[in-house]
Amino acid sequence: MVGTTINVGTILAGSMLGVTIGSRLSEKMRETALQGLGLVTTLVGLQMALETKNILIVLGAVLTGAILGEMLRIDEGLQKLGTFLQSSLSKGTKGQTARNFSEGFVMASLVFCVGPMAILGSIQDGLSGDYRTLAVKSMLDFFAAIAFSSSLGWGVGLSAFTILIYQGSLTFFAGVFAGILTDPMITEMTATGGLIIVGIGLKLLDLKAIRLANFLPALAMAPILVAVVPIIKSLF
């Protein structure tokens, strides 16, 4: 859990620094910074998505994952959680500030959790105590937290608890996940996660409001499809 602990600390530190910087910037500067972050986020997502070796796997994962997400109302649940946390920590704050808090919490949680470094780094930490991958991810998340929180506020900092639960679980059950996830599975999970990151970029650029969290089941569907497709092919 050393790597995850470091990651949580860097996100909290980056969020504190970002909020401090953001409060000193004008509205136009914060808006421009957010648009810049949207452009970079879109690029990162595209790079991840293009790693796919089978676009049909990604397509199937996104479609089935989205259906499951809508049925489970994941995005609605996370938004309510963000609003609840915001109202609990800052009584009486409403309007745009409250929306920014929820959006910061949800989007930062997605960005910090989706990606091969979170998966592989957590498993490495759990199996051998090697937290170098998560240490590198922590530094990247530190600067991302600064950028996000300078525009979206303290909600970004609370995403550290999402990281604690997500990466902590992967580390704790590392032996199980290491025996299940193959390289092709991780590749398609990364590509599917990349598309979700692209969606975050579109939202940051204010181009399209997407219920991003409802696509999270796609990350689980991708490795399942990688395992199932060869079986189906063998039957025909």
- What's the number of domains the chain is made of? 1
pLDDT at 98: 60
Whether residue 236 is contained in a domain is answered as no
Whether residue 207 is contained in a domain is answered as yes
What is the distance between the alpha carbons of residues 122 and 128, in angstroms, rounded to a whole number?
10
Whether residue 76 is contained in a domain is answered as yes
pLDDT at 86: 67
Q: List per-residue pLDDT tens for the chain, 236 residues long.
A: 899 999 999 999 999 999 998 878 787 887 887 788 788 888 888 988 999 999 999 999 999 999 999 999 988 887 787 777 767 665 545 555 666 777 888 888 888 887 777 887 898 888 888 888 899 899 888 988 988 888 888 889 989 999 999 999 999 998 888 888 888 998 898 899 889 888 888 888 888 878 888 998 998 999 999 999 888 888 87
Whether residue 96 is contained in a domain is answered as yes
Whether residue 85 is contained in a domain is answered as yes
Whether residue 42 is contained in a domain is answered as yes
pLDDT at 110: 85
Q: Could you list the residue range(s) of the whole structural domain that residue 150 is in?
A: 2-231
Whether residue 135 is contained in a domain is answered as yes
Whether residue 9 is contained in a domain is answered as yes
Burial track 73-112 (b if 16+ CB lie within 10 A, e otherwise)? ebbeebbebbbebbeeeeeeeeeeebbbbbbbbbbbbbbb
